[in-house]
Amino acid sequence: MISLDFAVLKYFTKVKEACAQDITNALKDEYDSFKDLNKGSVMMTLITAEAFGAIEKTKFQLDENGEINVYYRAQEDDAANLIYKSN
Protein backbone atom coordinates (compact mmCIF):
# COMPACT_ATOMS: atom_id res chain seq x y z
CA MET A 1 0.00 0.00 0.00
CA ILE A 2 1.35 3.42 -0.94
CA SER A 3 1.25 6.37 1.42
CA LEU A 4 -1.99 8.30 1.68
CA ASP A 5 -0.40 11.49 0.34
CA PHE A 6 0.88 9.68 -2.72
CA ALA A 7 -2.47 7.92 -3.19
CA VAL A 8 -4.12 11.35 -3.25
CA LEU A 9 -1.78 12.48 -6.02
CA LYS A 10 -2.03 9.21 -7.93
CA TYR A 11 -5.81 9.60 -8.00
CA PHE A 12 -5.29 12.38 -10.56
CA THR A 13 -4.03 9.77 -13.03
CA LYS A 14 -7.55 8.30 -13.07
CA VAL A 15 -9.71 11.43 -13.35
CA LYS A 16 -9.78 14.70 -15.26
CA GLU A 17 -10.22 16.77 -12.08
CA ALA A 18 -11.20 16.25 -8.45
CA CYS A 19 -11.79 18.03 -5.17
CA ALA A 20 -10.81 16.91 -1.66
CA GLN A 21 -14.23 15.36 -1.01
CA ASP A 22 -14.10 13.38 -4.28
CA ILE A 23 -10.71 11.98 -3.32
CA THR A 24 -11.75 11.20 0.26
CA ASN A 25 -14.75 9.26 -1.04
CA ALA A 26 -12.70 7.42 -3.66
CA LEU A 27 -9.99 6.30 -1.23
CA LYS A 28 -12.33 5.38 1.62
CA ASP A 29 -12.38 1.62 0.97
CA GLU A 30 -8.60 1.24 0.94
CA TYR A 31 -7.59 3.93 3.47
CA ASP A 32 -10.56 3.97 5.85
CA SER A 33 -8.36 3.04 8.83
CA PHE A 34 -6.16 6.13 8.28
CA LYS A 35 -7.12 8.96 10.63
CA ASP A 36 -5.83 11.48 8.06
CA LEU A 37 -8.38 10.40 5.47
CA ASN A 38 -10.61 13.43 5.88
CA LYS A 39 -11.39 16.47 3.78
CA GLY A 40 -9.07 18.78 5.74
CA SER A 41 -5.99 16.56 5.55
CA VAL A 42 -6.57 15.76 1.89
CA MET A 43 -6.96 19.49 1.20
CA MET A 44 -3.58 20.14 2.85
CA THR A 45 -2.01 17.51 0.58
CA LEU A 46 -3.60 19.21 -2.43
CA ILE A 47 -2.40 22.68 -1.39
CA THR A 48 1.13 21.36 -0.90
CA ALA A 49 1.07 19.56 -4.26
CA GLU A 50 -0.11 22.76 -5.93
CA ALA A 51 2.72 24.73 -4.31
CA PHE A 52 5.21 22.25 -5.77
CA GLY A 53 3.57 22.46 -9.20
CA ALA A 54 2.29 18.87 -9.32
CA ILE A 55 -1.35 19.92 -9.75
CA GLU A 56 -3.27 23.10 -10.54
CA LYS A 57 -6.65 24.57 -9.63
CA THR A 58 -9.37 24.26 -12.25
CA LYS A 59 -12.51 25.65 -10.62
CA PHE A 60 -14.39 26.51 -7.45
CA GLN A 61 -17.87 25.11 -6.88
CA LEU A 62 -20.42 25.32 -4.06
CA ASP A 63 -21.73 21.98 -2.83
CA GLU A 64 -25.24 21.28 -1.54
CA ASN A 65 -24.17 22.39 1.97
CA GLY A 66 -22.90 25.75 0.73
CA GLU A 67 -19.23 24.78 1.17
CA ILE A 68 -16.73 25.72 -1.50
CA ASN A 69 -14.98 22.82 -3.21
CA VAL A 70 -11.72 23.58 -4.97
CA TYR A 71 -11.09 21.33 -7.96
CA TYR A 72 -7.61 20.43 -9.16
CA ARG A 73 -6.09 18.58 -12.08
CA ALA A 74 -2.70 17.21 -13.04
CA GLN A 75 -1.37 18.24 -16.40
CA GLU A 76 -0.75 15.32 -18.75
CA ASP A 77 3.02 15.29 -18.16
CA ASP A 78 2.55 15.45 -14.40
CA ALA A 79 0.06 12.56 -14.45
CA ALA A 80 2.47 10.45 -16.51
CA ASN A 81 5.23 11.24 -14.01
CA LEU A 82 3.00 10.15 -11.11
CA ILE A 83 2.26 6.84 -12.84
CA TYR A 84 5.96 6.24 -13.53
CA LYS A 85 7.04 6.92 -9.95
CA SER A 86 4.36 4.66 -8.49
CA ASN A 87 5.46 1.58 -10.44
**pLDDT for the residue numbered 47:** 96
Q: Is 12 helix (H, G, I), strand (E, B) or coil?
A: helix
Reading phi first (left if > 0) and then psi (alpha if -120 to 50, else beta), residue 53 is in left
Taken in order 61, 10, 16, 26, the sign of the CA dihedral is negative
Range of the domain at 58: 4-86
**pLDDT for the residue numbered 2:** 87
**pLDDT for the residue numbered 52:** 87
* Tens-binned pLDDT, residue by residue, of the chain (87 aa): 789 998 999 999 899 999 999 999 999 999 999 998 999 999 999 999 999 888 999 999 999 999 999 999 997 665 556 555 555
Give how many domains the chain has, as a whole number: 1
Residues with Cβ < 8 Å from 56, sequence gap 6 or more?
A: 50, 72, 73, 74, 75
**pLDDT for the residue numbered 83:** 52
The CATH number that applies at residue 57 is: 1.10.10.10
